Structure 1
Amino acid sequence: MKKLKIGLLINPVAGLGGSVALKGSDGENIQQQAIQLGATPQAEEKALRALQHVVDYKNKVEFYTVSGQMGEHICQKLQFSHSIVHTTSGKTSASDTEHAINEFENIDLDIIVFAGGDGTARNVTKALNKDIPVLGIPAGCKIHSGVYSVTPSAAGKLLQKLLTGEMLSVSYADVMDIDESSFRQGIVKTKRYGELPVPMDLTYIQAVKQGGIEHDELVLADICADILENMEDDTLYLIGSGATTKSLMDELQLDSTLLGIDAVYQENLIGKDLTALQIEELVADYPKTKLIVSPIGGQGHLFGRGNQQLSAKTLAAIGKNNTIVVSTKSKLKALQGRPLIIDVLDQNVAKSYKGLIKITTGYHDSVLYSITD
């Protein structure tokens, strides 16, 4: 029986800067800063979540991977048959990803699976010269590229389809990335770096994120009016990230960060661009906390993309009933019926948010919309 040959690599520092509000993980200096601020790696855990869906098909798959935390550890943990094609020196870098891709090209692989963010996708694009399908497991802070599944579990389910013989068409998807230094200043500069072949299933593969900012000022003003009317003096509000929630901060005439999480109490700014730990400490200090968030346009991610500062501990403490979701109807319509997505590692938290949630779409105007993981 012919086995499915999978090239596997994991960028172990992908997403490292997300929980500590660094807006990315590109560059050794940023990675060191993230670790000093208390960030913990999550890429291996997200790859584990994806590949657990393949465990029942061990006899049908052979992995080719990189030493240590770039893939070997996961294969060992899940007891997959595997071979090491590249050995790192210990501290991993983009060159390890590129070397692994070069080695993968010498093997008759069926697919390359990688866990990372847009920077990792750029490295794969740079090194890959053969027409080998790829599948990204989302583990980064910023996921603008169309080569990633909507969640880690979705990547595993798509691999299941391949292993059970379902036919999937292969389409080319754009590899996009942003200028992180500009991103940290609240400026989104997205650039296309190429394209990669992806097994296409719109249930599992994300759409490329919409660029720019929606300027429907009347709708945003109506949403803000509704939220402001219902804000309570005894409640801490965590607000962000994105243009929709920033419009609320503008209405309050408070300084804010477009791409981070801010804290407001009695209409005063008490914290700006907070890290996960800072948010957890604030929530512990206030008896009542509510969270105001908006889904990412084009993708529908509510948690886990662009707001990793909202840890599972914070989401569990606040809860679905104290989460206020705001969005224009045009943003929801662009999802074409796809549910909102919560991509967090804590399954209990994910389960607690699943189902219908009320979304404020105007002044005294709301819709019910579905959330999934």
Structure 2
Amino acid sequence: MRRIGVVVNPVAGMGGRVGLKGTDGKVAEAVERGATPRAPERAIEALESLARHAEDEIDLLAAGGPMGADEAVAAGFEPAVVYESAGAASSTDAADPPETTAEDTRTAVEAFVDRGVDLVLFVGGDGTAVDVAAALDDVEARGDAATGDDTAAEETPMLGVPAGVKVYSSVFAVSPRDAGRIAATFERVEDREINDIDEDAYRGGAVETELRGVRPVPVSEELQSSKQLGGGSVETLAEGFVRDIDPGTTYVLGPGSTVGAIKERLGFEGSPLGVDVWRAAPESVEAESYHEPASPAGELLVRDATEAEILDAIEEPAVVVVSPIGGQGFVFGRGNDQISPAVIERCDLEVVASRRKLDDLNVLRVDTDDEDLDESLRGWLKARVGRFERRMMKVV
């Protein structure tokens, strides 16, 4: 029998599609912008996968209500509730999201460890990962007062189901389904990093990462790597992209420095970590300017757009332009949730990346919350790596 403790941050990821780039301290604003919970559905998907892949009986412990128990019941389990949050309601209604705290997460994790779980399975983003790791570290530091054994928590691995806006740590599975399978079948663990960023600085355009801990995690090829910044010049790539601009086309330009170089070539200051929508002028308007890559004719329609603003601005033909996250390879589902399935389905796809970034990636990945869409995106594509050059990359 395998004993697993499940804790869910029910508001994780709510800020993504409404352009907040994080949910810490922004739940009310996210709700005002029309955000809906993301974590509960991903928790259910992970737990259903856990049930499918379990070879032995699973003894599932959970935090109460929307912090784990509700999702476990929805996935077919009968969990033992070991902690109830005073602020958590039983509903995940977007208009009244549960009021849970980091302390709730930590207390639930400590209760899991007290009951000897083999794994802490958590659902959230980097902030939730930090809280889980801190709780394990605290229990480990205190040790067992009766026996002097201070190794119990050290031997308790953690595994993340990605549900946050930013998922930089290497303790997360690639997808909820992978998380469930790994939790059911893992045999070994290895130390991996927990990273987090300053959300206020992130919203201001600066990525300030910090190593917050190292904890044992199940060994699997379906774990994501820590976020690494790609290096190398992207000037020729941006120049080539701008030379190929199609008149009258709407471009949905994702975050990151590579796409940022394209925005600069298009003649506007884009949102470094947000999504901007730009439309090229019709061919009949200043057509000769398309031969000058530095300043093609066009109009910035929306800067730092939400999903709804992107959908309102799109006029076909339209192209989504994104660059994979260095070290991880995610094209969708990490830091660009505004580019939702509804947006992707209305656009063609252009992937751009430096040679150096792709040299460090074996494959590209997608995690859009829509399995049918993910499946349609899988396969081979040509990523632009230079002025004229492209490289075949496999999306898995």
Q: Is 2:12–2:124's contact at 8 Å kept on the other side of the alignment? A: yes
The separation in 2 between residues aligned to 1:108 and 1:35, in whole angstroms, is: 37
Corresponding residue for residue 277 of structure 1:
308
Corresponding residue for residue 20 of structure 1:
18
Q: Which runs of 5+ in 2 are unaligned?
A: 89-98, 140-152, 281-297
The separation in 2 between residues aligned to 1:222 and 1:347, in whole angstroms, is: 35
Q: 1:194: how far off?
A: 1.4
| Aligned partner (choices 88, 106, 118) of residue 85 of structure 2 | 88
| Aligned partner (choices 113, 121, 130) of residue 121 of structure 2 | 113
Runs of 4+ residues over 4 Å off in structure 1: none
Q: 1:93 to 1:187 in 2, by over 3 A?
A: same
Tell which deviates more after alignment, 113-122 or 88-97.
Answer: 88-97
For the pair shown, the structure with the greater C-alpha radius of gyration is 2
The AA in structure 2 aligned to 1:271 is V
The separation in 1 between residues aligned to 2:38 and 2:276, in whole angstroms, is: 24
Match of 2:47, SS state, is: helix
Q: Is 1:58–1:80's contact at 8 Å kept on the other side of the alignment? A: no
Corresponding residue for residue 374 of structure 2:
350
Corresponding residue for residue 10 of structure 1:
8
Q: 1:59: how far off?
A: 6.0
Q: 1:18: how far off?
A: 0.8
Q: Is 2:332–2:365's contact at 8 Å kept on the other side of the alignment? A: yes
The separation in 1 between residues aligned to 2:316 and 2:194, in whole angstroms, is: 44
Q: Is 1:62–1:80's contact at 8 Å kept on the other side of the alignment? A: no
Q: 1:146: how far off?
A: 1.4
Q: 1:291: how far off?
A: 1.0
| Aligned partner (choices 331, 343, 350) of residue 314 of structure 1 | 343
Corresponding residue for residue 145 of structure 2:
none
The separation in 1 between residues aligned to 2:167 and 2:75, in whole angstroms, is: 27
Q: 1:58: how far off?
A: 8.3
The separation in 2 between residues aligned to 1:76 and 1:301, in whole angstroms, is: 31
| Aligned partner (choices 251, 268, 273) of residue 237 of structure 1 | 251
Q: Is 1:11–1:115's contact at 8 Å kept on the other side of the alignment? A: yes
Match of 1:48, SS state, is: helix
The separation in 2 between residues aligned to 1:18 and 1:193, in whole angstroms, is: 22
The separation in 2 between residues aligned to 1:252 and 1:78, in whole angstroms, is: 48
Identity of aligned residues (%): 33
Q: 1:230: how far off?
A: 1.4
The AA in structure 1 aligned to 2:357 is K
Match of 1:362, SS state, is: coil
Q: Which runs of 5+ in 1 are unaligned?
A: none
Query: How many aligned positions are there?
Result: 351
Pairwise CA RMSD of aligned residues? 1.3
Corresponding residue for residue 198 of structure 1:
217
Corresponding residue for residue 55 of structure 1:
51
Corresponding residue for residue 66 of structure 2:
69
Q: Is 1:6–1:63's contact at 8 Å kept on the other side of the alignment? A: yes
Match of 1:195, SS state, is: strand
The separation in 2 between residues aligned to 1:13 and 1:114, in whole angstroms, is: 13
The separation in 2 between residues aligned to 1:241 and 1:370, in whole angstroms, is: 21
Matches within 5 A, 1:86-235: 86-89=83-86, 90=88, 91-128=99-136, 129=139, 130-131=153-154, 132-162=156-186, 167-168=187-188, 170-201=189-220, 203-211=221-229, 214=231, 216-217=232-233, 220-235=234-249
The AA in structure 2 aligned to 1:124 is V
Match of 2:251, SS state, is: strand
Corresponding residue for residue 287 of structure 2:
none
Match of 1:105, SS state, is: helix
